Amino acid sequence: MAPKVTVIGTGYLGATHAAAMADLGFEVLGLDVVQEKIDMLSQGRVPMFEPGLEEVLRRNVAGFEGSSGRLRFTTSYAEAAEFGDVHFLCVNTPQRHGEYACDMSYVDSAVESLAPHLTRPALVVGKSTVPVGSAARLAARIAELAPAGDEAQLAWNPEFLREGFAVQDTMHPDRIVVGVTSEWAEELLREVYATPVAEGTPFLVTDLPTAELVKTAANAFLSTKISFINAMAEVCEAADGDVVKLAEAIGHDDRIGKKFLRAGIGFGGGCLPKDIRAFMARAGELGAAEALSFLREIDSINMRRRVHMVELTREAVGGSFLGARVAVLGATFKPDSDDVRDSPALNIAGQIHLQGGQVTVYDPKGMENARALFPTLSYAPTAQEAVRGADVVLHLTEWREFGELDPAQLAETVTHRRILDGRNTLDPQLWRKAGWTYRALGRPNA
């Protein structure tokens, strides 16, 4: 019989994983301690914007016409333990308040709540991003708490999904990494991932610490790539070079590659910034702080982009924000997401507002979350409305609809035709032809 699967924590990662596992043919029980989330998911609704996820959910959640009925939700750990052979831990690990280290309280409490109910062979599989060493600690805790003793084990299986591509990344991952301590655990996970492995996805088996490190190392590398190109943008600005051309040219080298070399206002979101900080904090605890001291520089290059964008905006409106009207296009940390966690766009909007600018924000999907975080900013229902009367327009999240805006049409509603492209994705020629002063980070002014 195919193993039965539970997914503990139904946020971004968990909701997607639960729906995908059900789609792959497993019986799945999703668990969350927040009743409202469970209610929404049980009704086939996704609590966040993620392309394609609602369809996969509805295809599988019990109660929908034509659904497989393989996916259900609960708030009960006893029920989850009774149901599952494989329990995926998908709770989040945010940055601790006032510290770099990550907050393990959700992971810890999931293990503390589940393990005492594990009375038969079960594999707990951590997916959350955690400081290296956590898996070994949690494995010991499970051994202590589970009535099944040795037959309740822990494995680590990091998740690499990107927001906006969560469904695709979960159904067709580019690699599957499992940290295990027994052949039984490896075999069970091979069974769970048989479909993607048959499609050719590489399946890598490691020990627990290596599996934990793969995730943090990958995110550290991606952050480094972005900050590298943003550092080049700083040099280009000083030397009158063009970072977009530069990125294209170095990207032709296979060893470098073109991806993740888009210069702009830098990285944000719920993962990269907090993961590199937690990684530094953990390395410090392990006595290897020096090995990751470069990440401090990666972080500060990244944060400098936001300040720089604010300065360019101030310059554009004549040296002071007082009385200046600033239109901000984009609030989410990247397009195709409604996530505004540590969003460079919203951070910049907030800084300008705090310095006296009159900021009006528009985002296709992130308005509600942005408003909750920054209720004092003004919000407009469309891009056209947001730019009305603006002294400067900032393009801060590269939503497709912003690339399709007609500069000539917008020109008629703004007070001054000035656009600052924080993502280097608009066509400078098009805007300049329509009479705009177009400026971007790391590119020549005219």
Sign, Cα dihedral of 27, 31, 35, 41: negative
- Name the token pair of 111: 């293990």
With both helix axes pointing from N to C terminus, report the angle between 272-285 and 208-239 in degrees, rounded to the nearest 10.
120
Kindly state the number of chain residues that form the binding site for ligand UDX, as judged by CB under 6 A. 19
The residue (of 163 and 391) whose beta carbon lies closer to ligand UDX is 163
Residues 325-354 that bind ligand UDX (CB under 6 A): 333-334
Shortest approach of ligand UDX to residue 249 CB, angstroms? 15
Shortest approach of ligand UDX to residue 161 CB, angstroms? 5
Q: Smallest Cα–Cα separation from 195: which of 12, 18, 51, 21? A: 21
Shortest approach of ligand UDX to residue 399 CB, angstroms? 11
Residues 94-133 that bind ligand UDX (CB under 6 A): none
Q: Determine which residue in the list 11, 268, 330, 442 makes contact with ligand UDX, applying CB under 6 A.
A: 268
Q: Smallest Cα–Cα separation from 18: which of 32, 31, 28? A: 28
Shortest approach of ligand UDX to residue 272 CB, angstroms? 5
- Name the token pair of 391: 């002294």
Residues 6+ apart with CB under 8 A from 35: 75
Shortest approach of ligand UDX to residue 244 CB, angstroms? 11
Q: Determine which residue in the list 142, 161, 346, 387 makes contact with ligand UDX, applying CB under 6 A.
A: 161
Shortest approach of ligand UDX to residue 222 CB, angstroms? 6
Stretch of 55-63, 257-265, 283-291, 355-363 lying at the interface with ligand UDX (CB under 6 A): 257-265
Stretch of 54-62, 116-124, 160-168, 371-379 lying at the interface with ligand UDX (CB under 6 A): 160-168
Q: Is 240 exposed, middle or buried (0-12, 13-18, 19+ CB in 10 A)?
A: exposed
Catalytically annotated residue among 90, 102, 236, 271: 271
How far apart are the C-alpha atoms of 240 and 442, rounded to whole Å?
8
How far apart are the C-alpha atoms of 329 and 404, rounded to whole Å?
13
The residue (of 44 and 350) whose beta carbon lies closer to ligand UDX is 350
- Name the token pair of 119: 């009375």
Stretch of 21-29, 35-43, 119-127, 265-273 lying at the interface with ligand UDX (CB under 6 A): 265-273
Residues 359-418 that bind ligand UDX (CB under 6 A): none
Q: Is 262 near ligand UDX (CB under 6 A)? A: yes
Q: Determine which residue in the list 73, 77, 83, 267 makes contact with ligand UDX, applying CB under 6 A.
A: 267
Stretch of 116-124, 135-143, 156-164, 283-291 lying at the interface with ligand UDX (CB under 6 A): 156-164
Shortest approach of ligand UDX to residue 347 CB, angstroms? 11
Strand order in 203-206's β-sheet? 71-74, 28-31, 5-8, 86-89, 122-126, 152-156, 176-179, 203-206
Q: Determine which residue in the list 96, 137, 162, 371 makes contact with ligand UDX, applying CB under 6 A.
A: 162
- Name the token pair of 260: 């993740």
Q: Determine which residue in the list 163, 237, 363, 421 makes contact with ligand UDX, applying CB under 6 A.
A: 163
How far apart are the C-alpha atoms of 60 and 52, rounded to whole Å?
13
The residue (of 73 and 399) whose beta carbon lies closer to ligand UDX is 399
Active site residue 271: yes
Residues 193-252 that bind ligand UDX (CB under 6 A): 219, 222, 226
Answer yes or no: are the C-beta atoms of 104 and 130 closer than 8 Å.
yes
Answer yes or no: are the C-beta atoms of 69 and 104 closer than 8 Å.
no
Stretch of 154-162, 200-208, 289-297, 381-389 lying at the interface with ligand UDX (CB under 6 A): 154-162
The residue (of 81 and 348) whose beta carbon lies closer to ligand UDX is 348
Q: Determine which residue in the list 266, 330, 350, 442 makes contact with ligand UDX, applying CB under 6 A.
A: 266
Strand ranges (E), 79-194: 86-89, 122-126, 152-156, 176-179
How far apart are the C-alpha atoms of 127 and 144, rounded to whole Å?
21
Q: Determine which residue in the list 264, 357, 364, 428 makes contact with ligand UDX, applying CB under 6 A.
A: 264
Q: Smallest Cα–Cα separation from 181: which of 191, 173, 171, 189? A: 189
Stretch of 235-243, 266-274, 371-379, 406-414 lying at the interface with ligand UDX (CB under 6 A): 266-274
CA angle (308 as vertex; 304, 315 as ends), nearest 5 = 165
DSSP string, 15-74: HHHHHHHHHTT--EEEE-S-HHHHHHHHTT--SS--TTHHHHHHHHBTTSTT----EEEE
Q: Looking at the annotation, which residues are catalytic? A: 271
The residue ranges that bind ligand UDX (CB under 6 A) are 160-163, 219, 222, 226, 260-262, 264, 266-269, 271-272, 333-334
